[in-house]
Amino acid sequence: MTVLFLFAAGSAAAGLAAPPPKTTAPPPSPVAAAEERLHADDPDGALALLAGHLKRQPDDPKALFLRGSARCMNGETAACRADYERAVALDPAMRQGWLSLGALAVAEQRWGDALTAFARAEQLAPGLAENDLNAGAVHLMAGDLAAASQRFNSFLEREPRSADAYYRVAANYALAGYAALAGRALEHAITLDERSRVRARLDPNFEPMLEQPPFPTLFATDRWVPPPDYVVARRAYPRRYDGPEGKLLGAVLDAVQLSGRPFDPRVDATPDWALLWSEFRIRVGTNDAGQGEVELAAPATTFPPAEWQRRTEAFFQTVARQLALAER
C-alpha cells in the first residue's frame, strides 16, 4: 500500500519503544510483555496479555495505547481509535499516542483530525524536525501545497545534509503528483547519497512519474565524481557492458558474493551502466575503447595502500574468472 512518508505512519505499532533487553529475572510485566508481542507482530498475543491487566487497571494509558495498537494491527480501526483517544485523555503528555492518532487519521484521510493530533505532538516536542514532515505531508494530501511546502522547507532547513530527509520530501511530492518538486528534492538526495536513486527506482511512490521530467534524466545519469580523498582502480574486459541482464554485470555480482564481505543487495542498473556497493563503490560500464570496464572506488583511509592493491586485484581477477565461465 502506498503511504505518506511520516515519522509516525506505517504499521499500527509504529514508534513503539525498542523492546527492553532480555533478562533472566524478574519476568516482564503484562504491559512490557504485550509490547514485546507487538514487536513480534503478534497482536493477538498482546491482547491476551493486556486483557487481565486492563480489568485490574482500566485507566492505564500505556496499556490502552498498546491495546489500541494491537487492534489497529488486526484492522479494528474504530476500537483502535477509541483506545488511543482514551489513552491521551488520561495522559495528554503521551506524545506517541498523539502521533499514532495522527497516523490513523491519515490512513482514514481525516486530514483535519490528523493535523490536530500532530499539532499536539509538536507541542510536546517542538524542536523535532519530524514535526514539519508530518504536518507537511498532511497539508499536501489535503491539497494545501503552499502550507505543505512551507513545512517541508522548514524540515529540510533542519536536516540540510540528510539524504533521507530530501528523499522523504521527494516521495511525498511524488505521491501527490508534483513531478517537478519531487524531482528537485530527489536530485538533492542523490547528490548527498547516490543510493537514493536506486531507492527511488524501487519505490512505488515514484512509479507513476517515471516518464515525466526530470525523472528519465535523473534515473539514467551517473554524475558521481571521485572526491579528492578517494582512491580508484579500473580494469577493462573484452566483453562490453551489455545491460542489467548481461554477462559482465553477472560476473561482477558473482565476484561481490564470492568475496564474502557485506554488500548492498540493491543494484542501480541502466542500459549504459550499473552501480553496486560493497566495501567499494563498484561501477560497471563500457569505456571509450568499447571494452567493458569495472571501476572500484573507496575513501583512501579505508585500506592501507598495499591492502587496497591486494583487494582490488583479487576482485578484478574473480570477475575475469566468472566472466570466462559465463562465456563457455
pLDDT confidence of residue 143: 96
Domain map of the chain by residue range? 1-126, 230-327
Cα–Cα distance measured from residue 8 to residue 18, given in angstroms and rounded to the nearest whole number: 15
What's the pLDDT band for 28 if we cut at 50, 70, 90?
confident
Provide the CA 286 distance to its chain's centre, in angstroms.
31
3-state secondary structure of 90: helix
* Contact yes or no for 50/67 (Cβ under 8 A): yes
Global pTM value: 0.86
**Dihedral sign of CA atoms 218, 222, 227, 228 in order:** negative
Q: Is pLDDT above 50 for 307?
A: yes
User: Would you state the pLDDT for residue 4?
Assistant: 57
Mean pLDDT of 246-257: 97
Kindly state the average pLDDT of the residues 261-280. Answer: 97
Cell of 218: 535523473
**pLDDT above 70 for 249:** yes
**Could you tell me if residue 239 is left (phi over 0), alpha (psi between -120 and 50 degrees) or otherwise beta?**
beta
Judge contact between 202 and 266, C-beta under 8 A. Answer: yes
Q: Do domains 1-126 and 230-327 have the same CATH topology?
A: no
Q: Is the pLDDT of residue 296 over 70?
A: yes
Percent residues over pLDDT 70 in the chain: 92
Across 95-103, average pLDDT: 97
Going by pLDDT thresholds of 50, 70 and 90, the confidence category of residue 14 is very low
DSSP 283: E
pLDDT, mean of residues 18-29? 62
What digits encode the pLDDT tens for the residues 176-230? 999 999 999 999 999 999 999 999 999 999 999 999 999 999 999 999 999 999 9
- Helix H, strand E, coil C: the string for 269-288 is ECCCCEEEECCCEEEEEECC
What's domain 1-126's architecture? Alpha Horseshoe (1.25)
Tell me, what's the pLDDT at 89? 98
pLDDT in tens, 146-177: 999 999 999 999 999 999 999 999 999 999 99
What topology is assigned to 230-327 in CATH?
TATA-Binding Protein (3.30.310)
pLDDT (0 to 100) of residue 328: 86
